[in-house]
Amino acid sequence: MDLSIIVPTFNEGPNVDELLQRIGDALDGRVFEVIFVDDSTDDTPAIINVAANSSPFPVRLIHRENADAGLGGAVVAGFQAATSRWCLVMDGDLQHPPEDIPRLIDRAERGDVDVVIASRYASGGTSKGLADATRTAVSRASTALTKAMFPRKLANCSDPMTGFFLVNTEAVDVEALRPRGFKILLEVLARRQLRVDEVPFDFAERHAGTSKATFTQGVRFLTQLAMLRFGRMSAFALVGGFGAIANLVIMWGLIRIGMDYVPAAIIASVITIITNFLLLEYLVFADMRSESGRMLTRFLKSFSFNGLEAIIRIPILSILVEGAHIPAVLAAALTLVAAFVLRFVFHALVVYA
Ligand code: GDD
Ligand code: MN
């Protein structure tokens, strides 16, 4: 089997030589290429080019200047550039030991499989490279949540979040992949029912450098999950829910520091209208941003609806507080729930029709 090894890199210079050395040793005698898909902001591309010039096997570099392009998108770019239909995806920091690659290939060559996953959670595997207890707990919890949401597609997969897998890209609709965050394998598995098998592996410590996983990646992951499972509108609801909570927290904070509830509600609403729109554009409708003509229209519709809604909400809020003597934050919560339902209907039927 010919093989394309796809390695997404973001500032991984100190790991490049060791990685190529160990891949070469592990795959001695086989035909393969290595494709680095690099979004680095440092000298990593230069280091890769030097290594490529003296490498006994083909090493290619795709360097992208838009540093925000992201891990998932990098892997898709690798799929598109690969010369082999079998692509092995692995991290560039040696947490995925190259010595495990032959076991993945052997399983694929036995047939009846579209994806072979290197799993930390299959019996015999470990996740000791997940440095701290918090990361381990988050990983375990998100794995359980994901498996619960895709019981059939992930039936044979104990580790849908791994970044180490071998896939037959002919079985995947590569053009349909809309990777938003770190979790490209989940995107691959959730869209089509594929034949999956896995081999256990030991998730190692990072060789050099630091992890690029962030809280933002976690939020993107939740959005991705909601989009894949329930479609765009549920991700919209998730964003709206975050916005409503943020609105209440900001208002509560402003009242606490002595502000009157009316200006507090106005300020909280302005902040959340803007952040909500940005979240919709960058998370929920990220794949539609390129149609910029219509985006302006969307912005105007969404912004004026939310502005209008907030303005109408304030008198209703004061009726609830002065007239019905409902506590200010509770009254604000009631108006936000009503506004949320209206906004959902408006965006579904008008803005993103
Ligand atoms: N091209 C590109 N662009 N590569 C990136 C980007 C990016 O924006 N962000 C990260 N990478 C590369 C890193 O350079 C590394 O080679 C690989 O993606 C994984 O990133 P790490 O920063 O090492 O992430 P991690 O070790 O915390 O996460 C790994 O384990 C997770 C499971 O716990 C990844 O394999 C995740 O996909 C996996 O879910
Ligand atoms: Mn890592």
pLDDT digits (tens, 9 = 90+) for 203-233: 988 888 888 777 777 777 888 788 787 777 6
Ligand 1 pocket, residue 39 CB under 6 Å: yes
Residue 44 CA: which ligand is closest? 1
Q: What percent of the chain has pLDDT over 70?
A: 93
Ligand 1 pocket, residue 38 CB under 6 Å: yes
The yes-or-no verdict on residue 67 having pLDDT over 70 is no
User: What residues form DSSP beta bridges with 196?
Assistant: 115
The yes-or-no verdict on residue 306 having pLDDT over 90 is no
Give the mean model confidence (pLDDT) for residues 192-197.
Answer: 92
CA angle (97 as vertex; 66, 49 as ends), nearest 5? 40
Domain boundaries, the chain: 3-213, 226-350
| Burial annotation 86-117 (CB, 10 A radius, 16+ → b, else e) | bbbbbbbbbbbbbebbeebbebbeeeebbbbb
Give the mean model confidence (pLDDT) for residues 32-49.
Answer: 95
Give the mean model confidence (pLDDT) for residues 188-209.
Answer: 90
Q: How many other β-carbons are positioned within 10 Å of the β-carbon of residue 55?
A: 15
Token pair, residue 35, equals 């494709």
pLDDT of residue 353: 60
The yes-or-no verdict on residue 292 having pLDDT over 50 is no
CATH class of 3-213: alpha beta
Q: For ligand 1, atom 12, name the residue with the nearest CA.
A: 9
Q: How far is the CA of 129 from the centre of ligand 2 (A)?
A: 8
Q: How far is the CA of 181 from the centre of ligand 2 (A)?
A: 14
Question: Which residue, among 42, 26, 57, has the nearest Cα to 208 in the 3D structure?
Answer: 42
Give the mean model confidence (pLDDT) for residues 289-318.
Answer: 80
Residue in the block written with tokens 């410590």: 205
- Alpha-carbon distance of 178 to 163, in angstroms, equals 16
Give the mean model confidence (pLDDT) for residues 82-100.
Answer: 96
pLDDT range class, residue 181, cuts 50, 70, 90? low
Residue 127 CA: which ligand is closest? 1
Q: Which residue did the predictor score with more confidence, 353 or 212?
A: 212
Are the C-beta atoms of residues 165 and 115 closer than 8 Å to each other?
A: yes
The yes-or-no verdict on residue 81 having pLDDT over 80 is yes
CA angle (342 as vertex; 336, 344 as ends), nearest 5? 100
Question: Which residue, among 103, 155, 163, has the nearest Cα to 127 in the 3D structure?
Answer: 163
- Alpha-carbon distance of 142 to 120, in angstroms, equals 14
pLDDT of residue 110: 95
Q: Which residue did the predictor score with more confidence, 280 or 189?
A: 189
Q: How far is the CA of 190 from the centre of ligand 2 (A)?
A: 23
Closest ligand 1 atom to 127 CA: 33
For 122-126, 223-227, 265-269, 316-320, which range has the lowest pLDDT when averaged over its residues? Answer: 223-227
The yes-or-no verdict on residue 11 having pLDDT over 50 is yes
pLDDT of residue 171: 93
For 77-91, 212-226, 267-281, 322-336, which range has the lowest pLDDT when averaged over its residues? Answer: 212-226
The yes-or-no verdict on residue 349 having pLDDT over 70 is no
Average pLDDT, the chain: 87
- Alpha-carbon distance of 4 to 33, in angstroms, equals 5
Q: How far is the CA of 92 from the centre of ligand 2 (A)?
A: 8
> Which bin fits 338, alpha (ψ -120 to 50), beta or left (φ > 0)?
alpha
pLDDT of residue 227: 79
Give the mean model confidence (pLDDT) for residues 72-83.
Answer: 93
- Count of CA atoms in the C-beta half-sphere (13 A) of 146: 27
pLDDT range class, residue 340, cuts 50, 70, 90? confident
Q: For ligand 1, atom 28, name the residue with the nearest CA.
A: 213
Alpha helix segments (H runs only) across the chain = 16-26, 44-53, 71-81, 101-109, 133-149, 184-191, 215-230, 232-256, 261-279, 292-318, 328-346
Closest ligand 1 atom to 38 CA: 1
Ion ligand 2 neighbours (CB, 5 A) are 91, 93, 95
Residue 135 CA: which ligand is closest? 1
Q: How far is the CA of 72 from the centre of ligand 2 (A)?
A: 14
Q: What's the pLDDT tens digit per position in 117-128?
A: 999 998 888 877
- Name the residue of 182, 184, 203, 217 whose CB sits within 8 Å of the most ligand 1 atoms, as the mutation to test its pocket: 182
Residue 92 CA: which ligand is closest? 1
Ligand 1 pocket, residue 12 CB under 6 Å: yes
Ligand 1 pocket, residue 70 CB under 6 Å: yes
